[in-house]
Chain A
């Protein structure tokens, strides 16, 4: 604390006034201490006061004291300062909230550590699933099932039910053929049979499946897989990869094509992590696996 030119009344004065007022409030009969409580600081050049200032202080003090007596009960006790040394009193006067300061500092440090630990524990390098995989077009469980049931609304809605959960995204989880489900009669639906030309499973059509959406620390990952009529993976692409920060974009620019081509050559979700893209790789695998599982459940048979 640099010693600056003293203003008419500085904060220390205010603190001193407060302190005196508090004492007086506790004991109204106590006479106003004539001079100030001696600030025995060694470096007290600036406290050498002049008379007018003293008078102003006294007046202010009187006012404060009167105010205090009105509500004198709740003042925190002098118990906390057991007539301690002058030095202790002085620092107390300078930092009246010493205890609270310590508490605030402690709390802040503990919360920082605690939150960081919490984040570490709750953050595996794989994300949480936001939405399940869904079939966009082609083969479905419904069309793979025995002919007569295929397009009843019940069966159509059973298709996405084969996937982990019903939190599927907006994409019509139903096959293109079954999109007009609602208005259609509940009996066998000719429309679906027109489109899904091959009623007997496995249908010789390409099937496109959107994998589950996984959210990790950088953003969302979701793949889209196209299966050939023979059930092989003929195309894998990403619908979502983290894009919020430049670094993610740069990483994914090289990681995603590699993941895609690896998936195609592996014909499975068994792809290696691309270095530097751990999170994307992990969730890519999981999204791809969910797409494959969904397709298999719908009757898209694997080649290998």
Chain B
């Protein structure tokens, strides 16, 4: 039973990571208006929202299975409070913080009109930090972190995320007249 949870915690962790990176990419590309002509921007935004929500759901599955895997010795409290874990303290803390950031991002996105555009965007962009932390967490903590394929995937994820960030930043610099209605 523990072993099943162990397998699941790893696979959900990986899938959550992929979803989070994908959501990040779709978000940047949408905001950069680099959505091509094949798909409407609305398609990108819609998929972005969905990927973000899924990332949170898989993250929750990941942390639940991590706790259920008794062998890992992860106390419930250490899932909520970063930095109190008895082992792998930092690695786990990154995961916990990332989870909070994802949750905030997703939960502020549905009622986003309750916030000013600026506030919302700052909150929303914190998810970028979340994605970075989650990747560090997976890298430091994962049983598979030493596997070639895992590292390769990590590299691809980082490269792809950085690329879209670049596209977005480049867009900001190229057209300073970014329409940001308040």
Chain A interface residues toward B at CB < 8 A = 1-2, 4-5, 7-8, 10-11, 14-15, 18, 22, 71, 73-76, 95-98, 100-101, 104-105, 108, 111-117, 119-120, 123, 217-218, 244-250
**Contact flags (1/0) for B84-124 with A, using CB distance below 8 Å?**
01111000000000000000000000110110000000000
Say yes or no: is B73 at the interface (Cβ < 8 Å to chain A): yes
Does B40 lie within 8 Å of A96, measured CB to CB?
yes
Interface residue tally for chain B (C-beta within 8 Å) = 43
Does A76 lie within 8 Å of B73, measured CB to CB?
no
Q: How far is the CA of A104 from the CA of B111 in the complex (A)?
A: 24
Q: How far is the CA of A18 from the CA of B35 in the complex (A)?
A: 13
Does B47 lie within 8 Å of A97, measured CB to CB?
yes
Q: How far is the CA of A147 from the CA of B158 in the complex (A)?
A: 59
Does A112 lie within 8 Å of B8, measured CB to CB?
yes
Which of B8, B14, B40, B71 is the one whose CB lies under 8 Å from A22? B40
Does A18 lie within 8 Å of B37, measured CB to CB?
no
Q: How far is the CA of A18 from the CA of B22 in the complex (A)?
A: 23
Q: How far is the CA of A7 from the CA of B117 in the complex (A)?
A: 11
Q: How far is the CA of A152 from the CA of B56 in the complex (A)?
A: 64
Does B46 lie within 8 Å of A115, measured CB to CB?
no
Which of B38, B54, B113, B181 is the one whose CB lies under 8 Å from A74? B38
Does B113 lie within 8 Å of A247, measured CB to CB?
no
Does A112 lie within 8 Å of B87, measured CB to CB?
no
Which of A11, A74, A75, A111 is the one whose CB lies under 8 Å from B15? A111
Q: How far is the CA of A73 from the CA of B47 in the complex (A)?
A: 23
18 A/B residue pairs, CB under 8 Å, sorted by A: A11-B42, A97-B46, A101-B47, A104-B54, A105-B54, A108-B15, A108-B58, A111-B14, A111-B15, A112-B61, A116-B11, A117-B7, A119-B7, A123-B3, A218-B71, A248-B73, A249-B87, A250-B73
Q: Closest A residue to B62 by CB, please name it.
A: A112
Does A2 lie within 8 Å of B111, measured CB to CB?
yes
**Contact flags (1/0) for B15-40 with A, using CB distance below 8 Å?**
10011001000000000000001111
Query: Which residues of A lie under 8 Å from residue B46 when comparing CB positions?
Result: 95-98, 101
Q: Closest A residue to B23 by CB, please name it.
A: A104
How far apart are A221's CB and chain B's nearest CB, in angstroms?
A: 15
Query: Which residues of A lie under 8 Å from residue B11 when comparing CB positions?
Result: 111-116, 119
Query: Which residues of B lie under 8 Å from residue A97 when comparing CB positions?
Result: 39, 43-44, 46-47, 50
Does B42 lie within 8 Å of A96, measured CB to CB?
yes
Known pairs A22-B40, A245-B88; list 9 more (Cβ under 8 Å): A7-B113, A97-B39, A101-B47, A113-B11, A116-B10, A244-B87, A246-B86, A248-B87, A249-B87
**Contact flags (1/0) for B73-84 with A, using CB distance below 8 Å?**
100000000000
Instruction: Give the top 9 A-B pairs by smallest Cβ distance, nearest first.
Output: A247-B73, A115-B11, A246-B86, A97-B47, A97-B46, A116-B7, A119-B7, A245-B87, A246-B87
